Amino acid sequence: MELLLRSCSSPALTVHHDDGVPVIAVTGDVDMATDNAISVEIGDQFAMRPRALIIDMTEVTFLGLAGVTLLVAAATMAQRCGVRLAVVTSRRAVLRVLELTNVNRLLDLHRTLPDALVQLRPPADPRDLGTGVGVVPVDLVS
């Protein structure tokens, strides 16, 4: 597992690769004061043309409108670049904002990083392309 740390005031960003998939792990608040650092990192990752990208928001404590806009832009860019994008979070504070803005419908949401990696793993057999991969619903009640 390769590890690259980025220094920024808040949120803290950690970028590593898991099963060959870049994972941007975000910690802290995602709002107007912090969205630029995340946006730059997402852009840097898309520039490398990965087959998939994961934004791990497991440790995000607050998601503001700027963070929601950032996720919409990332989903749009992923679609344009042909990159499979997954967002990981089980935090109610994040999930609730995504639900209220209907952005949860645009994103491939997962509760855990291992769940996201399983969904993003390429099929073992090329004939299986397009099967068994999709958006995993996240239960917002728990």
Pick the more confident residue, 15 or 8. 15
What is the C-alpha to C-alpha distance for residues 42 and 23, in angstroms, rounded to an integer? 10
- Which helix (DSSP H) or strand (DSSP E) does residue 3 occupy? strand 3-6
Q: What is the model's pTM?
A: 0.80
Cα–Cα nearest to 10, from 47, 31, 88: 31
pLDDT digits (tens, 9 = 90+) for 29-50: 999 999 999 999 999 999 999 9
Per-residue pLDDT at 131 exceeds 90 = no
What is the C-alpha to C-alpha distance for residues 131 and 26, in angstroms, rounded to an integer? 30
Give percent of the chain above pLDDT 70.
Answer: 78
How sure is the predictor about 142, in pLDDT bands with cuts at 50, 70 and 90? very low
Judged on CB neighbours under 10 Å (0-12, 13-18, 19+), 38 is buried
How sure is the predictor about 121, in pLDDT bands with cuts at 50, 70 and 90? confident
- List the chain domain ranges: 3-121
DSSP designation for 132: S
Question: Which CATH code is given to the segment(s) 3-121?
Answer: 3.30.750.24
Tokens of 89: 């979070």
Q: Give 102's Cβ-side CA count (13 Å radius).
A: 0
pLDDT digits (tens, 9 = 90+) for 88-99: 999 999 999 999
